[in-house]
Structure formats: structure tokens, C-alpha cells
């Protein structure tokens, strides 16, 4: 995603009509900030560990496996091999997968073909939740402190691999425990190839899927996007589009995190809107979507220091962060979001 867009895009650009429609669909059950912080204080004192187990060792291995392919820049053999590996994993766990090819552009504006990958749990169930993450990695490290590094691709251990890894582990464990949830795992391509400071080129896979979902007239109760969910000391705040268009789901996730003792990661704090794949889902399909993303307005540039640098490698990945996110999402799916 592009940091520069945060300040330039106002929430108004998504449109009030969509906002009203979605908030009505959500039942208007948003809680006040006061209630939220009261609840979190209470819950901190009596943390409950009633949860759906999440194996962070397994998730970490999936980060490692993706990084081992090298840079997964679209239209490269490494990117294709990684996508094929993801499909292989999902199939081995018993999923029927589908792929969507679409026309897009790479970082330099050259026409290329993107590929979205989808796997569904209990496709016959109409009550569904969409889970998504991007699996492509950025062709340039344009925020690296060293000029020489800026033209080189990033490894994307966090920006790309971490969200995919948590989704893969959620997919594996849901099958293993024969979950009765209706889940769709959407791995989108061509998210991270936009030009810094421009609105063009970002989130191409999710924009395409929103126009042409894998199932005609696709509906889901809500969507959860995982982006950069593996960094050490990550902070997940209330991203503005998520709070405006999916407040009840956002509060449910953050409340679940507090109950599980992950309040240091899931912070009850509003931050600005990010143009990320969840916006495509909100705008294109009017599905309330929450972005769980490592972004904190207290930091100099909002994102973690490794964002779009050569520092986005395995060294900055924390099993505890993966655990916090996986356990929170898995527990919320099987309890309150059901
Ligand atoms: Zn990125």
C-alpha cells in the first residue's frame, strides 16, 4: 500500500451512500470509545485464555517458506513458484482452489498478468466471511535509508508473507478441526506495485476480484484483511476506513484480542485511512471490511521502520505477533463472528 495516500485521501472519496448502506447492514451496533476502553481495562485485569488454538510455529514456517523462494515480484519465476506452492498446500489440506488471471501492470507500468488464488471452506454455507492477504512483494525498496538499495526488490517477510502465512495456518487448522464455518481465503496479487505518491497501480488483484468475484453475486457478512501482521512490536490500530465501514466487526476483533491478552498489539486508537485491499472490497462489493495492519500514527511515517526497505526480512518477524493475530482472528471467527 502507499503511505502517501493516507493524507491525501479523505473518507469522503469512498462515498456517503456506501457508508450509510454498510452501517445499516452492520446493524449500527458500534460501541462508544469510552465503552471500549472500559471493557479493555476490565479485561486486562482478568485475561481469559479461552481461545481457538493457533500454531505460530507453523505460521512462522510458512513465512520462511515464502521468503525462501526469494523476491516474489509479479511476473517472475519466484512469484509463480510461491503461488503454486500455496495452491499445493491448500490442496493437500483438502481445499478445492480456484485461480483468477487478470490483466494488470507491474511497478514500471509494463502490462503483465496477475493471478488471484481462492480457497473456500464449506462452500455450500451461505453465511460467509472473506479473509484476504496479498502474496506479491514490492519490486523496489523505495523507503530504504540507503540510496543503492532503493531500486532493489524487498523480500517482504512482513509485507506479503506474514498475512499469507497466518491465513494459511487458519486454513489448515480450520480443516483439521472440521470447522463448520463458511470461509473464503482470497490471496490477492499485484497489491504492492504502485508508484509512491500516486494512486495508480496499487491493489490491482482485489480491485479485479471485487469486479469479478470467484462466485457470481458473491456475498459475505464481513471481510478481514491481514497486511504486515508479523513484525516485532507491531501495533494494530483502528484504521479509518475499517472503523467507518465495519465498526462492529472491528470492535469484535479488538475486544477478542483484549480478552486473550493481546491488548499491547491491538490498540484502541483511531488512525487515518489507508488505501489497502480492504477498500476495494468495501467500494466494489459493499462488504464491511477490516484491515489489520501494522500502522501507528505515533511513528514518524506510520508504518514500521522496515516498511518498503531491505529490512523487511525474516529478522523482523516475531512468532508472538503471528500468534496474537492468528489467535485473535481464529477465536473471533469461531465465537463472536459466527
Ligand atoms: Zn507494501
pLDDT digits 0-9 by tens, 227-250: 999 999 999 999 999 999 999 999
Query: pTM of the entire structure?
Result: 0.88
Q: Tell me what the mean pLDDT of segment 85-113 comes to.
A: 98
Question: What confidence score (pLDDT) does residue 8 get?
Answer: 33
Higher pLDDT, 117 or 8: 117
Provide the pLDDT confidence category of residue 50 given band limits of 50, 70 and 90.
low
CA 35 – ligand 1 centroid, Å: 33
CA 176 – ligand 1 centroid, Å: 31
Question: What confidence score (pLDDT) does residue 2 get?
Answer: 65
- Dist CA 190 CA 207 (whole Å): 10
Q: Using alpha carbons, list the distances in angstroms from residue 245 to 38, 101, 281, 309, 338.
A: 23, 29, 11, 31, 19
CA 1 – ligand 1 centroid, Å: 5
Question: What confidence score (pLDDT) does residue 74 get?
Answer: 98
Q: Tell me what the mean pLDDT of segment 92-111 comes to.
A: 97
Would you list the DSSP string of 233-254? T--EEEEHHHHHHHHHHHHHHH
What is the torsional sign of CA 227, 202, 311, 8? negative
Residue range 132-187, pLDDT digits in tens: 999 999 999 999 999 999 999 999 999 999 999 999 999 999 999 999 999 999 99
Q: Tell me what the mean pLDDT of segment 299-318 comes to.
A: 97
Average pLDDT, the chain: 89
CA 160 – ligand 1 centroid, Å: 7
Q: What is the CA radius of gyration of the chain?
A: 18
Higher pLDDT, 3 or 213: 213
CA 27 – ligand 1 centroid, Å: 33
Please tell me the chain's helix, strand, coil percentages from 3-state DSSP, rounded to the nearest 5. 40, 20, 40
Provide the pLDDT confidence category of residue 41 given band limits of 50, 70 and 90.
very low
CA 203 – ligand 1 centroid, Å: 10
Cell numbers for 95: 481445499
Dmax over Cα atoms in the chain, in whole Å?
Answer: 55
Statement: residue 88 has pLDDT above 50: yes
Statement: residue 1 has pLDDT above 80: no
The secondary element (H helix, E strand) that includes residue 123 is none
Lowest mean pLDDT of 7-11, 61-65, 300-304, name the range.
7-11
Residue 227 β-bridge partners: 293
Q: Tell me what the mean pLDDT of segment 184-208 comes to.
A: 94
Statement: residue 18 has pLDDT above 60: no
Assign 223 to helix, strand or coil: strand
Question: What confidence score (pLDDT) does residue 198 get?
Answer: 82
CA 106 – ligand 1 centroid, Å: 14
Question: What confidence score (pLDDT) does residue 124 get?
Answer: 96
Question: What confidence score (pLDDT) does residue 222 get?
Answer: 98
Question: What confidence score (pLDDT) does residue 276 get?
Answer: 96
Amino acid at each position: 500500500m502507499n503511505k502517501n495516500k493516507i493524507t491525501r485521501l479523505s473518507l469522503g472519496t469512498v462515498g456517503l451512500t456506501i457508508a450509510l448502506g454498510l452501517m445499516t447492514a452492520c446493524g449500527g451496533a458500534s460501541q462508544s470509545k469510552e465503552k471500549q476502553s472500559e471493557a479493555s481495562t476490565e479485561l486486562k485485569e482478568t485475561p481469559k485464555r479461552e481461545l481457538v488454538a493457533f500454531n505460530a510455529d507453523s505460521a512462522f514456517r510458512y513465512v520462511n517458506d515464502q521468503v525462501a523462494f526469494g523476491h516474489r515480484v509479479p511476473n517472475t519465476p519466484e512469484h509463480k513458484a510461491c503461488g503454486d506452492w500455496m495452491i499445493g498446500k491448500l490442496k493437500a489440506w483438502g481445499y478445492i482452489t480456484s485461480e483468477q488471471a487478470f490483466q494488470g501492470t507491474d511497478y514500471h507500468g509494463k502490462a503483465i498478468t496477475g493471478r488471484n488464488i481462492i480457497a473456500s471452506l464449506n462452500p455450500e454455507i451461505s453465511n460467509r466471511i472473506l479473509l484476504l492477504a496479498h502474496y506479491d512483494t514490492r519490486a523496489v525498496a523505495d523507503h530504504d535509508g540507503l540510496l543503492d538499495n532503493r531500486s532493489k526488490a524487498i523480500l517482504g517477510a512482513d509485507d506479503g508473507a506474514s498475512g499469507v502465512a497466518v491465513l494459511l495456518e487458519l486454513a489448515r487448522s480450520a480443516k483439521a478441526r472440521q470447522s463448520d464455518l463458511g470461509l473464503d481465503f482470497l490471496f490477492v496479487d499485484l497489491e504492492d506495485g504502485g508508484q509512491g505518491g500516486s494512486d495508480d497501480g496499487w491493489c490491482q488483484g482485489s480491485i479485479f476480484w471485487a469486479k469479478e468475484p470467484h462466485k457470481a453475486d458473491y456475498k459475505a457478512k464481513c471481510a478481514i484483511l491481514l497486511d504486515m501482521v508479523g513484525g516485532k512490536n507491531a501495533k494494530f490500530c483502528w484504521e479509518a476506513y475499517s472503523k467507518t465501514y465495519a465498526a462492529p466487526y472491528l470492535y469484535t476483533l479488538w475486544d477478542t484480542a483484549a480478552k486473550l491478552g493481546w491488548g499491547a498489539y491491538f490498540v484502541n486508537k483511531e488512525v487515518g485511512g489507508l488505501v489497502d485491499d480492504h477498500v476495494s472490497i468495501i467500494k466494489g462489493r459493499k462488504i464491511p471490511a477490516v484491515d489489520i495492519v501494522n500502522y501507528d500514527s505515533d511513528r514518524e511515517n506510520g508504518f514500521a521502520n522496515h516498511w518498503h526497505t531491505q529490512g523487511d526480512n525474516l529478522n523482523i518477524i516475531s512468532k508472538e505477533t503471528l500468534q496474537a493475530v492468528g489467535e485473535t482472528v481464529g477465536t473471533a471467527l469461531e465465537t463472536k463472528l459466527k
